[in-house]
Amino acid sequence: MVLYNGNLWWKRTGCPRRKINLIGKQPGQIGICVGMFLCMIVLVAVLFQIKLLQYHAVSVFVEDSLAASNLASAVIDVEEYGMTHNILVESPESAFYRYREALVHNLKLDENLYSTREEVLCGKVDILSYQVFNVIGDTVWRYRFDEGGRLLDTVSLDLGTTYLPDGNKLETTSVYSKVGFYVMGLGGETIYGTREKSVDIKREEE
């Protein structure tokens, strides 16, 4: 409003325009976003690779423990060997409990088969299968047990056509076992896995 010749007049004035910079158009902003995105991808890839290495280490640890536990359970019937030279696992029923005791020690479990080292295994370890294969001549006697040590069945098989559950061909008295277990995955979730192992019992000269 201005005074002109004694009269008041309204004068229209222009408002100054403010320059607005869009975030996406600020210099270097796109480069920063791309860089952060690439860093996140690299970080996820590194974490994933570390977890894969951990899974591999746990897998090897469990498999070695199974082999040691199988061997610990395979106490040879010395009297039978002395008379017939047949290598047989003495008392397959007792062999299961020797196996379970060795498994508890080797996998660092408590008496209820729960892991005492959560950084390696999580929760309970399941004994999915334990089998003894005693070979007498061309005949195989297979003893199969459940997780509690109960004998499920005893089966007579032919040596020439018998394969162990892990795919290995049976040639001499052997012990096989399989366990299931949980490991910690990404994001705190647990992943269930299984491992199996068979060991054969041979004469020293073989």
Q: Which two tokens stand for residue 199?
A: 């060991």
- Angstrom distance (rounded) from CA 48 to CA 41: 11
Q: Delimit the domains of the chain by residue range.
A: 33-200
Measured CA to CA, the distance from residue 117 to residue 81 in angstroms comes to: 40
Q: Comparing 50 with 191, which gets the higher pLDDT? A: 191
| Higher-scoring residue by pLDDT: 11, 38 | 38
The phi and psi torsions of 166 (rounded to 5 degrees) equal -90, 5
pLDDT digits (tens, 9 = 90+) for 164-188: 999 999 999 999 999 999 988 766 7
Mean predicted confidence (pLDDT) in 141-147: 96
